[in-house]
């Protein structure tokens, strides 16, 4: 195999922890030249909100952890940390995911967007953010970043959803204040269906 390909495949295919590298056994040994080569793999490039960020990521690290505690993007909230609330919702290649239940290493080469990535260069709010303000959607606001990310993803594939479609699309985002109807009003306004 062409050495560049091998190298590329190695990078794509394996992240060695120190222990795995030093064990020496196994088929990846041929491509893993040295301990340093393995160690370097913890340093990854992530595409977050349109910018490339270099960050040192543990093998088992979740995206929510990386965003909040390594990149300072604390708009993404952690409610349950186990896939049961939706407050950590981000989009990965325009699809919603719970960042608390996503390995950071699995988003290499993908486009991650968090609530911080929505406003325009000029600082203007995203239409969904503005619509949610206009409709007084949030109550305490803790679930709001997740509700907004789910709405942004919905409107990308379905620009004029029915209220029922919006309900389905936002059904993976709990709101303990029970502001659901206000969020749905926000979705309808953002999609130009409320005047």
Q: Which residues bind ligand FAD (CB under 6 A)?
A: 83-84
Long-range contacts of 188-193 (CB under 8 A, 24+ apart): 188/163, 189/131, 189/134, 189/135, 190/127, 190/128, 190/130, 190/131, 190/132, 190/151, 190/155, 191/155, 191/159, 191/160, 191/161, 192/160, 193/160
Q: What angle do CA 117, 113, 81 make, to 5 degrees?
A: 115
Identify which of residues 82 and 194 has a Cβ nearer to other proteins in the complex.
82
- As given in the structure block, the two tokens for residue 138 are 């949030």
CB 60, min distance to ligand FAD, A:
14
Q: Which of 67, 112, 143, 187 binds ligand FES (CB under 6 A)?
A: 143
Mapped onto helix, strand or coil, the DSSP state of residue 138 is coil
Contact, 59 vs 15, CB < 8 A?
A: yes
Identify which of residues 22 and 194 has a Cβ nearer to other proteins in the complex.
22
> Rg of the Cα trace of the chain?
20
CB 42, min distance to ligand FES, A:
23
Q: Which of 11, 14, 80, 133 binds ligand FES (CB under 6 A)?
A: 80
CB 8, min distance to ligand FES, A:
32
Q: Which of 10, 16, 98, 132 binds ligand FES (CB under 6 A)?
A: 98
81: left (phi over 0), alpha (psi -120 to 50) or beta: left
- As given in the structure block, the two tokens for residue 17 are 């922890």
CB 76, min distance to ligand FES, A:
9
Distance between CA 145 and CA 133 in Å, rounded? Answer: 12
Q: Which of 58, 116, 139, 180 binds other proteins (CB under 8 A)?
A: 58
- Report the partner that residue 31 touches, choosing among other proteins, ligand FES, ligand FAD, none (CB closer than 5 to 8 A by kind): none
Identify which of residues 17 and 193 has a Cβ nearer to other proteins in the complex.
17
CB 88, min distance to ligand FES, A:
3
Q: Which residues make up the interface to ligand FES (CB under 6 A)?
A: 78-81, 83-88, 98, 100, 138-143, 175-177, 179
């Amino acid at each position: 195999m062409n050495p560049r390909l091998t190298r590329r495949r190695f990078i794509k295919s394996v992240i060695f922890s120190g222990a795995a590298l030093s064990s020496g056994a196994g088929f990846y040994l041929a491509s893993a030249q040295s301990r340093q080569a393995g160690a370097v793999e913890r340093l990854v490039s992530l595409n977050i909100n349109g910018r490339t960020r270099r960050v040192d990521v543990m093998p088992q690290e979740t995206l929510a952890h990386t965003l909040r505690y390594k990149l300072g993007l604390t708009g993404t909230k952690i409610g349950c940390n186990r896939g049961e609330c939706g407050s950590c919702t981000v989009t990965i290649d325009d699809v919603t995911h719970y960042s608390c239940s996503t390995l950071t290493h699995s988003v290499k080469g993908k486009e991650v967007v968090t609530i911080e990535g929505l406003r325009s260069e000029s600082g203007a709010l995203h239409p969904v953010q503005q619509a949610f303000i206009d409709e007084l959607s949030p109550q305490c606001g803790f679930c709001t970043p997740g509700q907004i990310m789910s709405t942004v993803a919905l409107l990308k594939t379905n620009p004029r959803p029915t209220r029922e479609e919006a309900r389905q699309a936002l059904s993976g985002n709990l709101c303990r204040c029970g502001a659901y109807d206000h969020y749905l009003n926000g979705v309808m306004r953002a999609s130009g269906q409320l005047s």
